[in-house]
Structure 1
């Protein structure tokens, strides 16, 4: 019985509205017979059942917020209709008002379904291993950092953890929106709410449940849905003033037309009640919130988390976006593009020596060189003695020879620039970093490396240009390298030799030319710049810092989602404008028609409440792909 009630409860408002409609039909049928008293009783029942939720909502809002609202206007209009004997019209008003309210509630629930889906994705229990490797079923809330868990194939992962034993493909679509499973091995991080594939895993908990990425995403979306946009805040302020104005006008209309226009008292009261119905701003109030919530849900479904309706709304005004280079426009990992060896030396032997020395370092350039050697089939296994010269390079000794690997000033600037007919400046002009190797006789070889521009970055920049948005790159590289990267990515402007601490100043300068500037970064070093921008977009695979820093979080490093977010925002703005224009126009036409005595109460009810239903349905379009 309880299960049935739990299923019915979310739809109780709609059920009440439909019941009210059925009672109205019964009352209308009875009114055509001699049972007119019975019809009044049935209409009253329709009033109570259909109007219960809206009357309760209106009274609570009035008491708690101490201001009048549209719900009270509708209840007063229905009561006024009954006073002058229009029982059916009053009941129909309540029915359509209740139906539009039920539809709005449905919209809210629909827009929040991602939250319910996320909550249901996280398991309540986990298999915890004790000191004897025996598994015990425990509550997820009881898990502590350092606990070891066993995760069986196909199970949902209960906590943020790292893999201690085993490997498996993990379905991370709940976190990133990416449908393709990701292979996870030893020491890789896994997240609560994702789904284990076919491999059995032993993992170590690294975060308690309340601090997990999954819980932070849930909290973020909940906060976003509760935060109101500037437009919504304005409408709510406008609502209170407007309702007071309508009530004062109704009070005047209750007697003034009788003396000025010569209407009888019945007509005067009737037209005042019609005015009360048609002048209510229900459709105006419903023009923004359903569309905003639907937009936030749409973004969450596509891996874009907005921290509130205000940030979603501000995207419509965006005229420029600044990008951090490393890890955002580029892969963030240099790769070897050129390896040039002195003609009298064996290329593979030289690469073997270099890789064996660089294998002892964890510098990004050294890692890239070692990886390149492995791709060439060379295993860096020579016995070497290594000295790391901080800021310059490395010295390695092997096979009785000493080698220096590093910058021109470290190996000899003149010799370095003269090597291979002075090819170094040409490589540098292509945005490449050049590293040199020398032995006792001179320069042995040079290695050119480059951080590759991401293909999706080029696609994103091109799409943003089509949307009329200027793109800017902020980088610490020299001007020549920055120009090369900017040209390759299709960037409009760039700022070279830009230190992390000066990005804020550059953004402030950009805001002089572009009042609304976005900033895209990794959410860590770029945190001040993200905060300075009109809208901050955080990259970084959904890291904690990204969640806490930016206005918009891209759950994966998918730059294409930026253009999607802008399109989503602009579509929402179009729909909100359509709703406001339509709702205001309907109110104006109905008010004029009422004074001309063209529209009666039933038509006023249908026109007013029908417009409310239409703007809600129009807002629901935001659930569709932008």
Structure 2
């Protein structure tokens, strides 16, 4: 299969028709003409001359070499020339013979409306009722009753309308293409003999060493082997603040090296990299149809013949039943044809959807399809996994009670050689880190309890409550233990042979942005937030109260999370957010699955939306964008149909004219396009700036 860029693609229905024609060619059966991205994917053995001929008939063209192609909308020179000629004719019509005036009007009409007339005439003979068919019938009718000036205005305004349609779609495409152009094209490969060689990024393999200088892009996912620099990861995560990178740190392909020179070991071939996956998801997302778009497409099939039927009724019924003038009502019927054009109706959704997907992608939020964006705007309940989502997924010592001067020193001496996450949390506690530690010997794990060690000939234990069950505890120690348990902490107890030396209260650290994020979601229209976790109830309730989650379900197995999602889904529109492999079933069960981008591949593949940041700070902005897209689409549909209805009502007193009809249609198109593009310029509120950014700013000083 081969992919080509198409220029001049401004009509979704025309694109679908051209795709059908290309598929009828030899080797063209699998062809895809993607309207939103303006690309043709076709078998490499198809006859390109025949493809070009099909495209040319609809005013489109194949761009075989896209490197220097200008994607800006083409200036409607023919329409401009036609308008100038019409203006001149209007001012000199009283000075010229009648036939000369008609000739000038016809010339102006043909200059701007020739292609429309030809396409419409072909469709009329095939009984295909398209926009061009309506315009052609209207032009023929206007000429037939001698309305040369009106017919010329219709041709000029329709040509201008087509240009405005194409411009709106091109603006949305251009915004997306700028996003897709972040991919680097080349990389500096470090050869085993020390030489440098510039290669295409597609040729990079896992394990290759590349040199990335200041100002260059990281060619693919990798790890820093040597060098120190700050890296701008905005293209991947949407975060504007740079991240400091040192030896051993991972890198995203497509991120920008700001300062120093880095030697990077490639960990993923480019096609498997985060950037390639993002670009693929974003591009595919543009071509998926939302339920609204599918409805509009189905509606349009019946809408156009219905308008033609209404037009015929307007032409015939008043003269036949109410003694109306034939010429006057023929004129009114032609105006109905024009005002009934579904241009604005067809544009109501796609530009807004592409704009919304683009806006989210700029923020590091990947929406895998327009249907998911539309659904996100309808969500009223969001369910969160706890670990790694609302919390960092990293245990830390939140509370410590010391009953012996050597407590911290003994605890550190026992845990210093362990790689267990809780042991790491103990070692990072400031009081433990400040101690000069002993050398522990005879370390022995006690299953289900903890660890035993000998220090200076004396035995010590460190672990959970079971470990100290043999000790006699006074009321104060029991009260301390119960207090920490009721606080939702995991207990790590250090004891010697006859007493407890101290207790660590360990808990998963809450993300800085979680509370603010929950508050912003509620402001964005989310009525219910739910926590689903396998952790015990006390811990879950403590975290929920701190972040502001409204409901908690604790002690859940993966299949029980699915059951809870299904129950919630019966009453509301539910999105599930998680980052682990155990979250994948719940993500799939929810109306909408949202995965953390730095989570597992299974969660990302299952999810409908992917947050490329390691936090949820931008989730409220994504919800707001989705809701705005839905509002814009509803408003677009209202305007597109409302303006037409107002114009149609003008037929009752016989006030509808051809130029009013075309202005109503063009006005609806312009309004729909501008409203849809407004999604791209939505500004993020300062209150939505994630806490993670604030923390990064402090770290960078």
TM-score (norm 1): 0.90
The structure in which a higher percent of residues are helix is 1
Q: Look up the match of 1:555.
A: 612
SS in 1 for 2:74: helix
Residue 131 of structure 1, aligned match among 183, 192, 200: 192
Q: Look up the match of 2:16.
A: none
SS in 2 for 1:11: coil
- 1:357 CA drift (Å): 2.4
* Counterparts of residues 59-138 of structure 1 (less than 5 Å): 68-138=129-199
Larger RCO: Structure 1 or Structure 2 (Cα < 8 Å, ≥ 6 residues apart)? 1
How many pairs are equivalent? 619
CA distance in 2, matches of 1:611, 1:175: 37
1:606 aligns with 2:668: no
- 1:229 CA drift (Å): 1.2
SS in 1 for 2:513: helix
CA distance in 2, matches of 1:57, 1:551: 40
Residue 290 of structure 1, aligned match among 308, 331, 351: 351
CA distance in 2, matches of 1:265, 1:222: 53
CA distance in 1, matches of 2:85, 2:278: 45
CA distance in 2, matches of 1:325, 1:312: 24
Q: Note if contact 1:213-1:544 (Cα within 8 Å) is conserved in structure 2.
A: no
Q: Look up the match of 1:567.
A: 624
More divergent stretch after superposition (332-341 vs 36-45): 36-45
- 1:16 CA drift (Å): 4.6
With over 3 angstroms needed to count, the CA separation of the structure-2 counterparts of 1:104 and 1:605, relative to structure 1, is closer
- 1:127 CA drift (Å): 0.8
Residue 477 of structure 1, aligned match among 523, 535, 538: 535
Q: Look up the match of 1:270.
A: 331
With over 3 angstroms needed to count, the CA separation of the structure-2 counterparts of 1:389 and 1:35, relative to structure 1, is farther
With over 3 angstroms needed to count, the CA separation of the structure-2 counterparts of 1:586 and 1:543, relative to structure 1, is same
SS in 1 for 2:194: coil
Report Cα offsets for 1:147-189 as digits up to 9, x if no partner: 1111112211111111122222110011111111111222221
SS in 2 for 1:594: coil
CA distance in 2, matches of 1:232, 1:12: 26
Q: Note if contact 2:179-2:362 (Cα within 8 Å) is conserved in structure 1.
A: no
CA distance in 2, matches of 1:208, 1:359: 38
CA distance in 2, matches of 1:436, 1:225: 55
Report Cα offsets for 1:48-82 as digits up to 9, x if no partner: 55446767988999999x96333432343234323
SS in 2 for 1:12: coil
Q: Look up the match of 2:550.
A: 492
- 1:558 CA drift (Å): 3.6
More divergent stretch after superposition (37-46 vs 324-333): 37-46
Report Cα offsets for 1:367-402 as digits up to 9, x if no partner: 111111577423657354533445432233332233
Any unmatched runs of 5+ in structure 1? none
Q: Look up the match of 2:73.
A: 11
With over 3 angstroms needed to count, the CA separation of the structure-2 counterparts of 1:319 and 1:157, relative to structure 1, is same
CA distance in 1, matches of 2:66, 2:267: 40
1:457 aligns with 2:514: yes
CA distance in 1, matches of 2:296, 2:641: 13
Q: Look up the match of 2:561.
A: 503
CA distance in 1, matches of 2:474, 2:243: 44
More divergent stretch after superposition (234-243 vs 410-419): 410-419
SS in 2 for 1:112: helix
Q: Note if contact 2:389-2:577 (Cα within 8 Å) is conserved in structure 1.
A: yes
CA distance in 2, matches of 1:28, 1:422: 97
SS in 2 for 1:361: coil
1:261 aligns with 2:318: no
Residue 533 of structure 1, aligned match among 590, 598, 601: 590
With over 3 angstroms needed to count, the CA separation of the structure-2 counterparts of 1:3 and 1:396, relative to structure 1, is same
Residue 426 of structure 1, aligned match among 480, 483, 494: 483
With over 3 angstroms needed to count, the CA separation of the structure-2 counterparts of 1:118 and 1:315, relative to structure 1, is closer
- 1:471 CA drift (Å): 0.9
Report Cα offsets for 1:434-492 as digits up to 9, x if no partner: 11112233322211112232232111222233325111111122222222221111111
Q: Look up the match of 1:372.
A: 429
Q: Look up the match of 1:151.
A: 212
With over 3 angstroms needed to count, the CA separation of the structure-2 counterparts of 1:472 and 1:3, relative to structure 1, is closer
Q: Look up the match of 1:436.
A: 493
1:24 aligns with 2:86: yes
With over 3 angstroms needed to count, the CA separation of the structure-2 counterparts of 1:207 and 1:24, relative to structure 1, is farther
With over 3 angstroms needed to count, the CA separation of the structure-2 counterparts of 1:294 and 1:74, relative to structure 1, is farther
RMSD of aligned alpha carbons = 3.1
Q: Look up the match of 1:210.
A: 271
1:401 aligns with 2:462: no
TM-score (norm 2): 0.81
CA distance in 2, matches of 1:118, 1:420: 60
CA distance in 2, matches of 1:417, 1:125: 70
- 1:203 CA drift (Å): 1.2
Q: Note if contact 1:30-1:38 (Cα within 8 Å) is conserved in structure 2.
A: no
Q: Note if contact 2:535-2:556 (Cα within 8 Å) is conserved in structure 1.
A: yes
